[in-house]
Amino acid sequence: MLLHLEGVAARYGQFQALRDVSLSVERGETLAVVGSNGAGKTTLMRVISGALAASEGMVRLDGADTAGMGAHRMNAAGVAMVPEGRRLFRSLTVEDNLRIGAYAGRKGPWNLPRIYQLFPELVKRRHNRGMDLSGGEQQMVAIGRALMSNPQLLAMDEISLGLAPIVVNQIYRALPAIAAEGMGILIVEQDVNRGLSVAARFCCLMEGRVSLSGPAAGVDRKALTDAYFGVSA
């Protein structure tokens, strides 16, 4: 198993944002994590990336306990994040933002030409600065930057947030080519249909707990609505 969480809890001071979360992602598999505002999705991403330590439970990467590793070592071990809000270096060019992703020096299939092949829209923008890009272009750079580290696990936080549907389609069209390289993908989405459309399995969070999980295909919509909102629709 590439990523395995067992009984994970996380806190912000007194506030418990995650409790008893167990999930796993295999190589070559896409897991969608869905849930409403404040359900704990970003907190889960922060725990997986090493930015926030779990207060209970275990996070294993490739079978090894990651406790105490922190974000920098998790990245070197092959966990790459596409953070909510994209967080590009605004004064650096597209190409420099992409190159930064490769600083850990991990070997693999992803390099600048492959990123430009994946997102041809970026070719003509390669010398533009982060601040001059549209939201969709920024999101492509953020995904490209994460891929440049040649991760084993790519974790993406709400990549459709704030983007026009046509741009979201453009970005989602690139996901199968990424998955085809065999890494594990964890995709956080508020938009359940988007998430389920690219994932083999899903995990729904509500108030910091896993309220429902299972195969994405043929999911019981009523059960998922209940697990998402916590009430019968």
Binding site for ligand ATP (CB under 6 A): 12, 15, 17, 35, 37-43, 190
Of 39 and 203, CB closest to ligand ATP: 39
Helices (H) and strands (E) in the chain, counts: 8, 10
Q: How far apart are CA 213 and CA 31, in angstroms?
A: 10
Question: What is the nearest approach in angstroms of ligand ATP to the Cβ of residue 191?
Answer: 11
Of 12 and 218, CB closest to ligand ATP: 12
Class of residue 160 by CB neighbours under 10 A (exposed 0-12, middle 13-18, buried 19+): buried
Residue type, 139: Q
Of 13 and 113, CB closest to ligand ATP: 13
Question: What is the nearest approach in angstroms of ligand ATP to the Cβ of residue 199?
Answer: 17
Residues 6 or more apart whose Cβ sits within 8 Å of residue 4: 23, 24, 58, 59, 60, 63
Question: What is the nearest approach in angstroms of ligand ATP to the Cβ of residue 202?
Answer: 14
Of 181 and 191, CB closest to ligand ATP: 191
Question: What is the nearest approach in angstroms of ligand ATP to the Cβ of residue 189?
Answer: 9
Burial letters for 143-154: b for 16+ Cβ neighbours within 10 Å, e otherwise?
bbbbbbbbbbbb
Question: What is the nearest approach in angstroms of ligand ATP to the Cβ of residue 192?
Answer: 12
For tokens 């004064």, the residue is 91
Of 110 and 228, CB closest to ligand ATP: 228
For tokens 């889960």, the residue is 44
Question: What is the nearest approach in angstroms of ligand ATP to the Cβ of residue 8?
Answer: 13
**3-class secondary structure per residue, 3-27:** EEEEEEEEEECCEEEEEEEEEEECC
Across-strand partners of 82? 156
Of 98 and 204, CB closest to ligand ATP: 204
